Structure 1
Amino acid sequence: MTTTTQTTPAPARVATALTVWFAGSAIGAGALLAVQPMTGLDPELFVLVMLAPAIGAATAWPLIRGREPWSIPRVSSQRLATSLLVALAVVAAYFVVVSVARGSAPNVPSQIGGAPVVVFVLLQALGALTEEIGFRGVLLQGLQRWLSRPVSGVITGVLFGLWHVQYYTLPPLQLAAFILGAVALTLTMVYVMSGSFWQRMATCTLIHLGANLALAFVGDDTIQMTTFAAAIIAGGLVAALLEYARRR
């Protein structure tokens, strides 16, 4: 008797994993929001709720680890380096567009939130990684069980934008621009990242961190969200041009 290996993951298992991730992230977010004031940690330095998507991923990890659609082959170091270089070019575009819009060069202060700027950057890198693990690691890959990469990217980007509830008080146009930027950010990652789960997380974290630092060091978190969206879209265009050149 011949045994056939099933390569397509069961829809119910993928749906269960995403449901567990969402529930774990939501519960984790509520707990972290309650804990933040007790820690005395300045929100300007780090917002604990950024850890919640990774908490959700840890909750769902037994359903995800080593299984499709989350189990992805590694790529060579050269291919990963190419993805990271493209990500750096994307980040450079973010800084250029925000700098032009603000009419000022990046300004790196010695301290942010009462801590050295190096600590700020490390904490922002941690927060970017933990959000990426949840959204572009678990959610985006899971949605591709049913949907194409672009459609999965759009849905993930919208949900990632809506995750940032602190922007709900913005005027409708500015909120819409932020969500558009979140979608453009995700689509950029979709076409730049490559390789295994953790290789993809390295590329996505670099792009995410770059967007955050462009706002912190140039925009001072006071720029219009329309400018933010323009910067993210410009970064996506840079990535597309570099990918076209690479294929040629």
Structure 2
Amino acid sequence: MPSLAYAESRLGAAHPRMPLVIFWFYLTTCVAAALFGLVQPTLAIDPVIIQLNQFGPAVGVLAVLLAWRRWRLPLATGFGLSREVLIRLVVLVVLAGMIFAVFVGITELAGVSRRGILPGQLPYPFGLILAAQLIGACGEEFGWRCFLQPYLRARFGVLASGTLVGLLWGVWHVQVFSRGPMFTASFLAMAVALSIMLAVLQEQSRHGVLIIAGGFHMLVNIGMLLLTSDSDGDAVQLSLTAACVLTACGVLLVAARRGIALTQFVEGDRA
């Protein structure tokens, strides 16, 4: 198999071929995540606090940087907290709240036991878990949303690029495939819907992407930790969660396709 350096010389450093870049990013992301997963038990780090394999995608970006050193990667790494970014943060908080409020309502009406947990019942301070979950989510989203999403967006539309990233992101959680077809299908559907929502929220902005994506990711993880028993392989609960996420995704897409600005989405049309 030809080396990446050979491929670079044949294809040109300035514009490496997209399939090769995606393959190399995904391969190194998966390998790094697997290695992190092996290391975590030896470090005695409870996955309730943070899962080290979340930093696999960041390693994948580093691997792409090293493979094509003369290529300027399309990274969305701006950290400015502009008014636009703050509004998008409000939108994602509203969306996350809507997802889990609807989930609670559906489970109550259907009589489905959530077997959730209160923050005070967690084995560690809730503030520590929140901070660690945000760090882990940002480590993961640096690869998926700060690199892969804008990279694919340069060639594909918002919906197509968000779907592709969501599928790769979902399949990367390979452990879900051991929990049965219903659980797997629900998880993949949820991953794609979340990815599309993040693609819409980061559209036309290269600033604040990491905090937007990482914050939304953290809120979803915390919501599932507190309200669901997804770690127990409960396919019914996950399918209901996925349905709520798909509904929220549909609401956001309708708003975006009608040309409603994010400011109007939050504040309403004051005209």
- The answer to whether 1:235 aligns with 2:248 is yes
Q: Which residue of structure 2 aligns with residue 168 of structure 1? A: 177
How many positions carry a matched residue from both structures? 239
When normalised by structure 2's length, the TM-score is 0.76
Instruction: Report if aligned partners of 2:170, 2:188 keep a CA contact under 8 Å in 1.
Output: yes
Q: Which residue of structure 2 aligns with residue 5 of structure 1? A: none
- TM-superposed CA distance for 1:116, in Å, is 1.2
How far apart in 1 are the matches of 2:76 and 2:58?
Answer: 17
Aligned-residue sequence identity (percent) comes to 23
2:220 maps to which of 208, 211, 227: 211
- The answer to whether 1:183 aligns with 2:192 is yes
Q: Which residue of structure 2 aligns with residue 93 of structure 1? A: 98
Instruction: Report if aligned partners of 1:178, 1:228 keep a CA contact under 8 Å in 2.
Output: no
1:56 maps to which of 54, 57, 60: 60
When normalised by structure 1's length, the TM-score is 0.82
Q: Which residue of structure 2 aligns with residue 41 of structure 1? A: 45
- The answer to whether 1:115 aligns with 2:124 is yes
Q: Which residue of structure 2 aligns with residue 23 of structure 1? A: 27
Instruction: Report if aligned partners of 2:116, 2:229 keep a CA contact under 8 Å in 1.
Output: no
How far apart in 2 are the matches of 1:207 and 1:40?
Answer: 27
2:136 maps to which of 127, 147, 171: 127
1:141-165 deviation line (CA, Å, top 9, x unaligned): 2223432221111111011111111
1:149 maps to which of 138, 142, 158: 158
- Give the 3 Å change call, closer, same or farther, for CA 71–84 of structure 1 in structure 2: closer
- Which amino acid in structure 2 is aligned with residue 42 of structure 1? D
1:169 counterpart SS class:
helix
1:115 counterpart SS class:
coil
Instruction: Report if aligned partners of 2:80, 2:207 keep a CA contact under 8 Å in 1.
Output: no
- Which amino acid in structure 1 is aligned with residue 47 of structure 2? P
Bigger Cα displacement from structure 2, 59-68 vs 18-27? 59-68
1:124-147 deviation line (CA, Å, top 9, x unaligned): 111211111111222222223432
- The answer to whether 1:81 aligns with 2:86 is yes
1:12 counterpart SS class:
coil
Which structure 2 residue ranges, 5 or more long, are not aligned?
1-12, 109-113
1:51-71 deviation line (CA, Å, top 9, x unaligned): 111122233346589936336
